[in-house]
Amino acid sequence: MSLLDKFRHKRLEAEVDFENIPKHVAIIMDGNGRWAKRRSLPRKSGHAMGAKTFEVISECAGELGIKVVTFYAFSTENWKRDKDEVESLMALLEDYLDNGLKKLKNRAQIRFIGDMSAFSESFREKQRYVEEATKNNSGFLINVALNYGSRDEITRAVRSIAADAAAGRLAPEDVTEELISSRLDTGGLPDPDLIIRPSGEFRLSNFLMWQGAYAELWFDKILWPDFTRDDLLRAVADYQRRNRRFGGR
């Protein structure tokens, strides 16, 4: 770190109120492809750098005292990409399932959201093993969204409610916002306070649309592989400067 970077880092740290850290931060890891293109590298190199950033930022989130951090790693739409790219993403995810636990310095719990039925049985077995092996870690929670899309998640939740209604286990008036929330993949978790999207896009792209109804949104043009601890601090400091009213006055 250069002297100027150290100075900037100290100044940022001083800006953050450590008594008012958002409980749940959700991140859309975008810009890997453009990062690679700018360096004339294949897209998979961008994803590999993105996976490194994912590890650094999950660790940093724990150190900051964020209780839940959700990363958008693979969307329901990402299957439409070239076979090579999908395979390279699957290889990175599988590597994380195989080796991620060893790197966990901060005793985090790891969970996955999304429709896992699309993955191979061996992939799902590894995913279940990681969830099981970390389920008693109380430091904080790393939530990884795989084959995830909000519309798909809401559809699955509504289907399960409809099945209960058809079987006579639920009456129409039992269907409340709380019930719907509890049937989502994030059931039991607090809603995100802050959603971060780097890479200069200003969209939520089917990410936590129900849960993010009142989330503060933070956009920046930085590409995900370049995203640093200081960028997370910047986003948290900006979040803390905002006045959250949840529809009230």
Supply the residues annotated as catalytic. Answer: 30, 78
Q: Select from 21, 24, 31, 60 the one that contacts ligand FPP (CB under 6 A).
A: 31
Which residues, 68 to 87, sit near ligand FPP by CB under 6 A?
Answer: 71, 73, 78
Stretch that binds ligand FPP, among 30-38, 114-122, 171-179, 185-193 (CB under 6 A): 30-38
Q: Is 92 in the site for ligand FPP (CB under 6 A)?
A: yes
Distances (CA, A) of 87 to 92, 123, 188: 9, 13, 32
Residue closest to ligand FPP when measured from CB atoms:
33
Q: Select from 30, 153, 185, 231 the one that contacts ligand FPP (CB under 6 A).
A: 30
Contact 154, 210 (CB under 8 A): yes
CB of 64 or CB of 223, closer to ligand FPP:
223
CA 72, 73, 77, 78 torsion-angle sign: positive
Stretch that binds ligand FPP, among 16-24, 32-40, 133-141, 172-180 (CB under 6 A): 32-40
Which residues, 8 to 27, sit near ligand FPP by CB under 6 A?
Answer: none
Distances (CA, A) of 43 to 35, 50, 79: 8, 11, 15
Contact 66, 21 (CB under 8 A): yes
Residue 205: burial class (beta carbons within 10 Å; 0-12, 13-18, 19+): middle
- CA distance between the termini of the chain: 44
Which token pair is 169?
Answer: 């286990």
The site for ligand FPP, by CB under 6 A, has a size of: 19
Which residues, 33 to 62, sit near ligand FPP by CB under 6 A?
Answer: 33-34, 47, 50-51, 54
Q: Select from 25, 96, 134, 236 the one that contacts ligand FPP (CB under 6 A).
A: 96
Which token pair is 127?
Answer: 């995913």
Q: Is 126 in the site for ligand FPP (CB under 6 A)?
A: no
77 contact partners, CB below 8 Å, separation of at least 6:
149, 206
The minimum distance between CB 227 and ligand FPP, in angstroms, equals 10
Nearest C-alpha neighbor of 160 from the set 143, 145, 175, 177: 175
Q: What is the CA radius of gyration of the chain?
A: 19
CB of 78 or CB of 240, closer to ligand FPP:
78
CB of 110 or CB of 157, closer to ligand FPP:
110
CB of 86 or CB of 209, closer to ligand FPP:
86
Nearest C-alpha neighbor of 107 from the set 144, 138, 68, 67: 138
Q: Is 32 in the site for ligand FPP (CB under 6 A)?
A: yes
Binding site for ligand FPP (CB under 6 A): 29-34, 47, 50-51, 54, 71, 73, 78, 89, 92-93, 96, 144, 199
